[in-house]
């Protein structure tokens, strides 16, 4: 399988664990995988991206523009920031809940993500879900990353089996949160399946 997956969000949202799970699951299915993370100062509330490259034709750790098959977006403006990476046939999974930066609160700009979602809707090739609200209904926004992985897997665009993903998640998350994470994944998977993208 050759697939380029870009994960984007805001520092602190759990993108690094999400990319680690995709990489481990893709490897468990026999693929060569490379990935790259944003680490350092940007992790303090700045924009973060993870690039996951599956297949043996990828030499650069970063996905070139117009090449991503899938974007998993934790925040709507971050999807817009990275939309240039999406290929013409690619799909973006978009969490519609905005993370408001301090600069927006200070300036009173009123940024709430709706403008971003409207832009992406017009552009097309996106699956929208209020993943943050879905997580809150499960008890904690802590599982946002896993729920979004569920949506990506359920849409059929991730190219990795549901069972493989679940087995990796079980191994990667702390035992006391295992059940909650699996529930989040399944909830996301059902949302993804319902989009009929697969």
Partner 1 sequence: MKEYVMGNGAIALGALKAGVNVVCGYPGTPSSEIIETIAKYPHEGLHLEWSVNEKAALEVAAAAAYSGARALVTMKQVGLNVASDPLMSLAYVGVEGGMVVVSADDPGPISSQTEQDSRRFAEFARIPVFDPASAEEAFEMIQDAFTYSEKYKTPVIFRPTTRVDHGYAAIEAADTYTPKSFEGFKKDPGRFVIFPRLSYKNHGMIEERNVRIGEDLSSYRFNTAEGGPSAKAVLAGGISYMYAKEFLQDHPGVTLIRIATAYPFPESFMLDKLKGVEELLCLEELSPYLEEQVLKLAGRYGITLKVYGKISGHVPAMGENSADSVKNILKDFLGIESLESSGGVSDAPALPARPPVLCAGCPHRASFYAVKKAMEGEKTYYCGDIGCYTLGNAMPLDMVDTCLCMGAGVTMAQGFSHIDKDGKAFAFIGDSTFFASGMTGVVNAVYNEADITVCILDNSTTAMTGHQPHPGTGRNMMGHVIQKVSIPKILEGIGLTKVITVDPLDLKAAVSAVKECAGLKGVKAIIFKSPCIAIEKSSKKCTIGDDCINCKKCIRETGCPALSLSEGRVVIDASMCTGCALCSQVCPVSAVKGGV
Cβ-based neighbours of 13, under 8 Å, separated by 6 or more: 48, 74, 75, 99, 144, 145
Rounded least distance, CB 88 to partner 1, Å: 9
Pick one of 5, 6, 18, 83: the residue that binds partner 1 (CB under 8 A).
83
Question: Cα dist. 187→53, 85, 191 in Å?
Answer: 26, 27, 6
Does residue number 34 form part of the binding site for partner 1 (CB under 8 A)?
A: yes
The token duo for 12 is 């602190």
Q: Is residue 32 involved in binding partner 1 (CB under 8 A)? A: yes
CB 81 within 8 A of CB 9: no
Scan for tokens 């700009």, then name that residue: 109
Site for partner 1 in 96-155 (CB under 8 A): 100-106, 108-111, 115-116, 119, 140-142
- Closer residue to partner 1, CB minimum distance, 139 or 198: 139
- 24 part of the interface to partner 1, by CB under 8 A: yes
Q: Which of 3, 5, 35, 148 binds partner 1 (CB under 8 A)?
A: 35
Neighbours of 6 (CB within 10 A): 26
How many chain residues touch partner 1 (CB under 8 A)?
Answer: 56
Smallest gap from residue 198 Cβ to partner 1 (A):
26
Residue placing its CB nearer to partner 1 in the complex, 52 or 189: 52
Q: Which is nearer to partner 1, 183 or 193 (CB)?
A: 183
> How does DSSP classify residue 60?
S
SS3 35: strand
Is residue 40 within the footprint of partner 1 (CB under 8 A)? yes
Residue environment code for 103-142, b if the CB has 16+ CB neighbours within 10 A, otherwise e: eeeeeeeebebeebbeebeeeeebbbbebbebbeebeebe
Binding site for partner 1 (CB under 8 A): 10-12, 20, 23-24, 27, 32-47, 57-66, 77, 80-81, 83-85, 100-106, 108-111, 115-116, 119, 140-142
């Amino acid at each position: 399988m050759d697939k380029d997956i870009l994960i984007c969000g805001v520092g602190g949202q759990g993108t690094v664990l999400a990319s680690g799970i995709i990489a481990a699951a893709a490897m468990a299915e026999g693929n060569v995988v490379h990935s790259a993370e944003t680490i350092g100062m940007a992790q303090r509330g700045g924009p973060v991206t993870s690039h996951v490259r599956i297949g043996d034709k990828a030499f650069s750790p970063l996905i070139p523009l117009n090449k991503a098959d899938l974007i998993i977006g934790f925040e709507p403006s971050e999807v817009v920031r990275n939309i240039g990476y999406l290929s013409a046939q690619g799909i973006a999974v978009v969490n519609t809940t905005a993370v408001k930066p301090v600069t927006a609160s200070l300036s009173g700009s009123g940024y709430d993500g709706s403008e971003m979602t409207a832009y992406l809707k017009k552009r097309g090739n996106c699956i929208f879900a209020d993943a943050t609200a879905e997580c809150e209904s499960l008890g904690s926004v802590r599982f946002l990353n896993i729920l979004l992985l569920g949506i990506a897997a359920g849409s059929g665009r991730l190219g990795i089996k549901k069972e493989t993903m679940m087995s990796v998640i079980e191994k990667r998350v702390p035992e006391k949160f295992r059940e909650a994470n699996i529930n989040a994944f399944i909830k996301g998977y059902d949302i993804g399946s319902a989009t009929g993208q697969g």
